[in-house]
Structure formats: structure tokens, C-alpha cells
Chains A and B, each alone.
Chain A
Amino acid sequence: DAGVTQSPTHLIKTRGQQVTLRCSPISGHKSVSWYQQVLGQGPQFIFQYYEKEERGRGNFPDRFSARQFPNYSSELNVNALLLGDSALYLCASRREPGQGSSYEQYFGPGTRLTVT
């Protein structure tokens, strides 16, 4: 079975630009979460989506937004990019939130975003 896939793998943008990152969850998984991992640190929670609805949001500005599609894939959008947005953006999928043995979250390889 294919794991979580993300595109693109690498991206270079200029300050002030906008970026869209994409994620496809594991087949059968309905929940997608996004995390930001700055070099040398642990991932930080940005969003969780389940059944196309936002179910959780971390401490990130409104420049960050996301959505989930009927096929459970997801996009993360970041507007007005800042140098500090440079990071590895990770997508994680999970079967269903809060359902019995479905606590496990599986991460994709990430998208490396560099803002210059």
C-alpha cells in the first residue's frame, strides 16, 4: 500500500509570495493533519481536517489556511511568505479521529520550503 504522499518535494519562494502544498493520505484514512518542522526542532501542529472540516488549529497566523477534498486529499496554503516560514511541511494521515485503535498517525516525506 502506498503511504502518505506529498508534492512538491522542494520549493523555493520569495518573501511575499504565496505557496500551495499538497498531500494525499493513505488509502482508507479520512483525517489529515499538517505540521511545520523547523530545522533542529520537533514538528509543530498547524491544522487537522476530517471529512472536509477543520477539526483543530495550532498557533499559526491567518496567513496559513488549508482545505480537504472529497477524496480526502488536502492542500495547505501560506500567503505573504516570510523568511521564518522556511521549514519542512509534513502531512500526516489517520484513519478517523477518536475511533478505537485509530490513534496512529503516519507522516509523509514532507515538502521542503525555502523562502528567500
Chain B
Amino acid sequence: GENVEQHPSTLSVQEGDSAVIKCTYSDSASNYFPWYKQELGKGPQLIIDIRSNVGEKKDQRIAVTLNKTAKHFSLHITETQPEDSAVYFCAASGRAGGGNKLTFGTGTQLKVEL
């Protein structure tokens, strides 16, 4: 089955700096890669996603890149703000089962310091 690895497990940045979180996946059939932000006591919130036919996607301060050959994808947050502090999860999904099964990474605790 799919295996997703995520690094780093914790990340501390100064407000205004950029943050980068990296993930690798094992199943070359995976074709959908979402990123979720989870705040304490809440469910995961979808913040951006990318499909395997696209190499990069951007939404304001957030961008995701995908390298299908190397089987890795990354989340980039620019101009970080204190409200960006949360746990971020990457996930991968394949065609099996209609793509509903998301396999998650282990999460990155992002802390944006003033």
C-alpha cells in the first residue's frame, strides 16, 4: 500500500519568513496530493491540493510543487503569519477505491514566532 513520509516534524520560523514542508510517497499510481492544516481541537482543513498532471499550484501565500519522477511534493508558505501556526499534513491518494482513501504523513508542527 501507499506510504507517505513527511519532514520536518517540527518547524519554527520568524514571522515574515518562508516555510517549506516536504513529503515523499511510495505508490507511483497515486495521482492526488492534498495538504491539510489542523489547529488544536479541530478537524483537518484542506488548504491546497495538486493533481499528478500539474507540477505546481499557487494560492496567494501558499504553493505546492510536485515531482512525479522523484515521488515527492512540497508545501511552501511565504510571508508567514502567527495564524499560520498549526499542524500541517500532506496526503496522497490513488485511483484504487475511486481515490477516496487518503494516506497521510505524520504531520509537521509549524510555529511562527513574532
User: Which residues from chain A sit less than 8 Å from chain B, CB to CB?
Assistant: 4, 31, 33, 35, 40-45, 48, 50, 55-56, 58, 90, 92, 94, 97-98, 103-110
Contact = CB atoms under 8 A, between A and B. Distances in A.
Contacts of A48: 97-98, 100-101
Contact residues on B (Cβ < 8 Å of other chain), bracket? 20 to 34
B99 A97 contact: yes
Interface stretch (B14-22, B55-63, B70-78, B103-111): B103-111
Contact of A103 (B42, B96, B99, B106): B99
Interface of B: 4, 6, 32, 34, 36, 41-46, 49, 51, 89, 91, 93, 95-107
Contact of A107 (B45, B93, B106): B45
Contacts of A106: 46
A43 B104 contact: yes
Contacts of B91: 42
Contacts of B95: 98
Given A42-B91, A44-B104, A94-B100, 12 more contacts: A35-B102, A40-B107, A42-B107, A43-B102, A43-B104, A48-B98, A58-B101, A103-B49, A104-B34, A107-B44, A109-B42, A110-B43
